[in-house]
């Protein structure tokens, strides 16, 4: 039985198609015994995949999960579908693993966001008072 795609989001469809492309590529090249990373990268060289940023983003996300985090591509697909069905934006479906591993400070278009650091042995009052209270 096939899965009905009438209510599937664009991100879910892209994730499913990218996963199937990797499986097909692996079946055609398994006599060469490629690694999962090599198989994913070889799918990225297909002409119709090069033309689509959606597929390239999905395949890059899969590559990060499979090669860097040593997870199975089936698990990546399941997580991508769950994020897509939970209503997150298209980019968030595929950037979740990348963003989870980022370190602070995060540089944005509004400047650098730093964590509040505590200086051992000093009080906030010694540094000039609390600016939020108007002192």
> What's the 3-state SS for the chain?
CCCCCCCCCHHHHHHHHHHHHHHHHHHHHHHHCCCHHHHHHHHCCCHHHHCCHHHHHHHHHHHHHHHHCCCCHHHHHHHHHHHHHCCCCHHHHHHHHHHHCCCCCEEECCEEECCCCCCCCCCCHHHCCCHHHCC
Counting the structural domains of the chain, the total is 1
In a domain, 56, yes or no: yes
In a domain, 101, yes or no: yes
Q: What confidence tens digit (pLDDT) does each residue in 106-118 have?
A: 666 666 555 555 5
The pLDDT score that the predictor gives to residue 6 is 79
Task: Tell me the HSE value of 120 on the side-chain side, using a 13 A CA sphere.
Answer: 0
In a domain, 123, yes or no: no
The pLDDT score that the predictor gives to residue 73 is 84
The pLDDT score that the predictor gives to residue 99 is 63
State the residue range of the domain holding 85: 10-107
- Picking from 16, 65, 17, 22, the residue whose alpha carbon sits closest to that of residue 40 is 22
The pLDDT score that the predictor gives to residue 100 is 62
Q: State how far the Cα of 58 lies from the Cα of 46, in Å rounded to an integer.
A: 14
pLDDT confidence tier of residue 89, bands split at 50, 70 and 90: confident
Q: State how far the Cα of 127 lies from the Cα of 98, in Å rounded to an integer.
A: 37
As a whole number, mean pLDDT of residues 20-43 equals: 84
The model's pTM is: 0.64
112 phi, psi to nearest 5 deg = -95, 125
Statement: residue 90 has pLDDT above 80: yes
In a domain, 131, yes or no: no
Residue 39 C-alpha from the chain's centroid: 18
In a domain, 116, yes or no: no
As a whole number, mean pLDDT of residues 23-31 equals: 84
Q: State how far the Cα of 105 lies from the Cα of 112, in Å rounded to an integer.
A: 6
């Amino acid at each position: 039985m096939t899965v009905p795609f009438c209510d599937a989001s664009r991100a879910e469809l892209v994730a499913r198609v990218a996963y199937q492309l990797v499986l097909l590529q692996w079946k055609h090249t398994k006599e060469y015994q490629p690694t999962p990373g090599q198989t994913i990268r070889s799918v990225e060289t297909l002409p119709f995949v090069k033309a689509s940023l959606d597929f390239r983003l999905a395949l890059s996300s899969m590559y990060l999960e499979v090669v860097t985090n040593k997870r199975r591509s089936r698990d990546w697909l399941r997580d991508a579908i769950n994020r897509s069905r939970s209503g997150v934006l298209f980019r968030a479906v595929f950037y979740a693993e990348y963003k989870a591993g980022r370190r602070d400070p995060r540089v944005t278009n509004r400047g650098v966001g730093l964590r509040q650091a505590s200086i051992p042995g000093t009080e906030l009052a010694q540094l000039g008072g609390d600016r939020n209270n108007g002192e």
